[in-house]
Amino acid sequence: MKLKKAKNEYNPYFDIYLKHLNTDDGHIERLKKNQITILNVFDQIDEVKMNFTYQEGKWSIAQILQHLIDTERIFCYRALKIVREEDPIIEKYNHESYAKKYKFISKRRLLKDYTDNRQASISLFKTFDYDDLNKSIENPHYKFKVGLIPFIFCGHELHHINIIRKKYL
């Protein structure tokens, strides 16, 4: 699926993330490109800096990366629910709670988790056929097609990378 064909098929809220993406990319291509970008950015950040916050009450760089991983996992679960269930219920998740409960082990471990998770996401989305990618959900909280989900969490990543570059590095 390509992003440029998806206008008006998602909540406008997601524009904050989707504006960071090339609309000609396919969803698998975008997942692979983002992985390279994320790994390149975090390659430049040393272990000590991973615990840095630019202001009290803000997340550390490690918490941001874990937030990206958690969000991707949750969105993949949502995609699976939409594809497999008759009447899926998509619930919100409390990203603040997830971030607060995260315990940093090491940059190496966190990046391995990111890479493993991205490979699982690619694998999942490769199993979806055309009809699966075009299944959608619309409820008071969400409106999107399954094929848009990788674009949403990839745009979300780039949104946070921009914040890291501007406020943390």
**And the tokens for 153?**
């969490």
pTM as predicted: 0.93
Q: Are 71 and 95 in contact (CB under 8 A)?
A: yes
Q: Are 106 and 100 in contact (CB under 8 A)?
A: no
pLDDT of residue 7: 61
Buried b / exposed e along 102-114 (16+ C-beta atoms within 10 A): bebeebeebbeeb
Element (H, E) at 26: none
CA atoms of 1 and 133, how far apart (whole Å)? 7
- Contacts of 71-75 with C-beta under 8 Å, sequence gap 24+, read 71/95, 71/153, 71/156, 72/117, 72/118, 72/121, 72/153, 73/117, 75/149, 75/152, 75/153
CA atoms of 157 and 35, how far apart (whole Å)? 10
CA atoms of 142 and 103, how far apart (whole Å)? 30
Q: How many domains does the chain contain in total? A: 1
Element (H, E) at 4: none
Q: What is the CATH number of the domain that holds 39?
A: 1.20.120.450
DSSP codes, 31-94? HHHHHHHHHHHHHTS-TGGGG--SSTTSPPHHHHHHHHHHHHHHHHHHHHHHHH-SS-------
Digits of tens for pLDDT over the chain (169 positions)? 677 666 667 777 888 998 888 778 899 999 999 999 999 999 999 999 999 999 999 999 999 999 999 999 999 999 999 999 999 988 888 999 988 888 889 999 999 999 999 999 999 999 999 999 999 988 776 778 999 999 999 999 999 999 999 999 9
Residue ranges making up the domain that contains 27: 3-168
The one-character DSSP state at 164 is I
